[in-house]
Amino acid sequence: MAYDNKVALITGANKGLGLEIARQLGKQGVTVVLSARDAAKGEPAVAILKSEGIDAHFVKLEVTEEADVDALPGYFGEKFGRLDILVNNAGVERDRGGITREGFRETYETNVIAPYFVTQALLPLLKAAPAGRIVNHSSILGSLTVIGAPDQVAAEWLGAAYSSSKAALNMLTVIQMRQLAGTNVKVNAAHPGWVKTDLGGDGAQLEVTDGAKTAVELALLPEDGPTGGYFHGGETLPW
């Protein structure tokens, strides 16, 4: 049975911004598939959204695990017959306290290589959707312009692995835009703001409800919306 609703996959959706993006998309009538690497964390998150009246589902996805990624097209094809929105949200920051080679590799595996291959696996479904949308959850800390301006970012925010991974994700966004020219699929990079999550910390400025808004807006862009951009709250950010 083909779904009438738009269907969205949000990676790393068991908590933080991913869970809130799923909630806000669900409240707008999108069927949301929350993915998490651990079913024991993902299933309860789905249950919370269901209790709020949202059509929510769970799929296990360790984004760095090839077998999990390879299984995605079959899951969406068989269960929904479609995928309209992909939010590459799962991410890690391993610089604090000093970056190790292992931490650097984990950062790149999770923040760069994984979103690329998750997207590649799902492109046929996204291209078949009437208005395919890809959101890469980036960060202002991936901006070469901002990181290069000493008056804009304090030295304690300079994370070699995290910032360079988000800069790479920004480049992937532009490459994907070029590759998707002439299709119905739009791809954009989102900076959520500095948000109170496990990653952002308690000192952050924004609550998740506000932090999720940029990604949600880009996931629901109309046909005349932008592609290949880098945004926060409707404003274009410098690469």
Ligand X SMILES: NC(=O)c1ccc[n+]([C@@H]2O[C@H](COP(=O)([O-])OP(=O)(O)OC[C@H]3O[C@@H](n4cnc5c(N)ncnc54)[C@H](OP(=O)(O)O)[C@@H]3O)[C@@H](O)[C@H]2O)c1
Binding flag, residue 62, ligand X (CB under 6 A): yes
Q: What binding mask, one character per residue, do residues 78-117 give for ligand X by CB under 6 A, x or -?
A: -----------xxxx-----------------x-------
**Dihedral (CA of 72, 16, 173, 7) sign:** positive
Q: Taking Cα atoms as reference points, which of 215, 218, 224 lies closest to residue 184?
A: 224
Chain-centre distance of CA 60, in angstroms?
16
Is residue 162 part of the annotated active site? The answer reads yes
Q: Which of 41, 60, 79, 105 binds ligand X (CB under 6 A)?
A: 41
Binding flag, residue 188, ligand X (CB under 6 A): no
Radius of gyration of the CA atoms of the chain, in A: 17
Segment near ligand X (CB under 6 A); pick from 34-42, 144-152, 170-178, 219-227: 34-42
Question: Nearer Cβ to ligand X, position 17 or 126?
Answer: 17
Q: What is the rounded CA–CA span in Å between residue 231 and residue 138?
A: 9
Question: Nearer Cβ to ligand X, position 14 or 129?
Answer: 14
Beta strands at 133-137 and 31-36: parallel, antiparallel or unpaired: unpaired
Which ranges of the chain would DSSP assign to H, the alpha helix? 16-27, 39-51, 66-79, 101-108, 114-128, 144-147, 160-179, 208-211, 213-219
Q: Do 11 and 35 touch, CB atoms closer than 8 A?
A: yes
Binding flag, residue 197, ligand X (CB under 6 A): yes
Q: Which of 18, 26, 103, 159 binds ligand X (CB under 6 A)?
A: 18
Binding flag, residue 194, ligand X (CB under 6 A): yes
Binding flag, residue 200, ligand X (CB under 6 A): yes
Active site residues: 162
For ligand X, the binding residues (CB under 6 A) are 12, 14-18, 36-38, 41, 61-64, 89-92, 110, 137, 139, 191-192, 194-195, 197-200, 204
